[in-house]
Every structure is written in structure tokens, then in C-alpha cells.
């Protein structure tokens, strides 16, 4: 995995609370066996008309928001289904960070494993970013994972929390599976101390 340290980009706002993963990518797109092409399905039901043409008023379709890297959302982003297709679809659509006041647990974990940053800010900052994105689509923010800061166009930097282990992995391009594989001896020790009561092959 490519290390992630710092990046800048413009924003697109979707000021809706409780955006669930069924909205991020509807279930009918989950019949795939790979991750390719999911970006086109991001927010599909909000983004396209019944005949498949893009809805002109949906922010992600508007010319001024093409190339946006940071999605500013309402409260509680990513609730519902555990589908990792949600961060895959967002990243496929060019999004590298989502800003909200809080995130659903599974979505947050899935995102961090894919290099999509869930950035938690307070409500005034969230509201300021929504207004900024709507008023000036060219306005850029800078995400610095090392410093754990989000710098607004006016130069104000707000800090955001990140799970230290996920941060370490992202900064260094370390993948979490590799880390777990390295603990094989400890897993073996656990297994010999805890014989299984249930075996599916029994």
C-alpha cells in the first residue's frame, strides 16, 4: 500500500445526516467479485435519473466539483451495512477523505484499511466547510495525516483524531494483514491454550 502523509484538494458537500452505506452504494452493485468500476456506482440512486442519465443538480455531477477529493457530509456518515464496497466506491469516485462529526464504526474501520480518511470535526467546522464548499468550489483544504490536521483555506488548522495504529500503517504503507501474519506464534500459543469447542468440519 502507498503511504499517505499529506494531500490537498477541493471539497464537495453532501450536507445530509446519517448517510448509510446503501446510499453510498446500493446493494444491486454488490454482485461483483472484484473492486473495479465501483466509482461510477457511488451514490447511484441520488446521482442518476431512472434512465441512467446524471442528475444535473447532484453535487458530484456538477462540473465545478469534478476532481473534488474531500467529501463534507452531515452527521453520522456510513451507518448501516458493513459493505467495504462503500469506501471502494468513494475512492473510485476520487474521494480521499470524508469529513463528518462522527462515523459509523464499521465504515470507519473499512475506510482506514483502504486509505480513505474519515476526518472527525466539530459541528461549527463542519458547517463552515459545507458553506465553503458550496460558495467556492475551488476552495482547497489540506489533510495532514502525520500532524493530524485539516487546514482550511483561511489557514486555520483543526486537529482530528485517528486510531494510532491505523495512522502508523497509513503513514508507513504497512498493511494490517502483514502485521497479523507476523503474530503467528502468539496465535498458535492461544490455540493450544484454548482448544476449540466448535469445529465446522466436525
Of residues 109-128, those binding other proteins (CB under 8 A): 109-110, 113-114
CB-based contact 175:200 (threshold 8 Å) = no
Cβ distance to other proteins smaller for residue 103 or 160: 103
> According to the binding rule CB under 8 A, does residue 145 interact with other proteins?
no
Would you count residue 15 as binding other proteins (CB under 8 A)?
yes
Q: How many CA atoms lie within 13 A of 157 on its CB side?
A: 9
Say if CB 104 and CB 47 are below 8 A apart.
no
Tell me which of 84, 99, 132, 145 binds other proteins, using CB under 8 A.
84
Structure-block grid coordinates of residue 74: 452531515
**Count of positions on this chain that bind other proteins (CB under 8 A):** 60
| CB neighbour list of residue 170: distance below 8 Å, 6 or more residues apart | 1, 3, 4, 112, 115, 117, 145
Angle between helices 164-172 and 105-114 (to 10 degrees): 20
What part of residues 22-51 is at the interface with other proteins (CB under 8 A)?
A: 22-23, 26-28, 30-35, 45, 50
Residues interacting with other proteins, by CB under 8 A?
15-18, 20, 22-23, 26-28, 30-35, 45, 50, 74-76, 79-85, 102-106, 109-110, 113-114, 163-165, 168, 176-177, 179-181, 183-184, 186-187, 190-191, 194, 196-202
Amino acid at each position: 500500500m502507498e503511504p499517505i502523509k499529506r494531500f490537498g484538494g477541493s471539497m464537495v458537500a453532501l450536507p445530509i445526516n446519517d448517510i448509510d452505506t446503501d446510499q453510498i452504494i446500493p446493494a444491486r452493485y454488490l454482485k461483483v467479485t472484484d473492486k473495479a468500476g465501483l466509482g461510477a456506482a457511488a451514490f447511484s440512486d441520488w446521482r442518476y435519473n431512472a434512465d441512467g442519465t446524471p442528475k444535473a443538480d447532484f453535487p458530484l455531477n456538477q462540473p465545478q466539483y469534478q476532481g473534488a477529493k474531500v467529501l463534507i457530509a452531515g452527521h453520522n456518515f456510513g451507518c448501516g451495512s458493513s459493505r467495504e464496497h462503500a469506501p471502494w466506491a468513494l475512492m473510485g469516485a476520487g474521494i480521499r477523505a470524508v469529513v463528518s462529526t462522527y462515523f459509523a464504526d464499521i465504515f470507519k474501520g473499512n475506510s482506514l484499511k483502504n486509505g480513505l480518511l474519515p476526518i472527525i470535526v466539530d459541528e461549527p467546522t463542519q458547517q463552515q466547510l459545507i458553506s465553503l464548499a458550496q460558495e467556492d468550489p475551488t476552495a482547497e483544504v489540506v489533510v495532514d495525516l502525520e500532524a493530524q490536521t485539516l487546514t482550511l483555506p483561511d489557514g486555520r488548522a483543526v486537529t482530528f483524531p485517528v486510531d494510532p495504529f491505523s495512522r502508523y500503517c497509513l503513514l508507513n504503507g504497512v498493511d494490517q494483514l502483514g502485521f497479523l501474519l507476523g503474530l503467528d506464534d502468539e496465535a498458535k500459543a492461544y490455540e493450544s491454550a484454548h482448544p476449540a469447542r466448535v469445529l465446522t468440519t466436525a
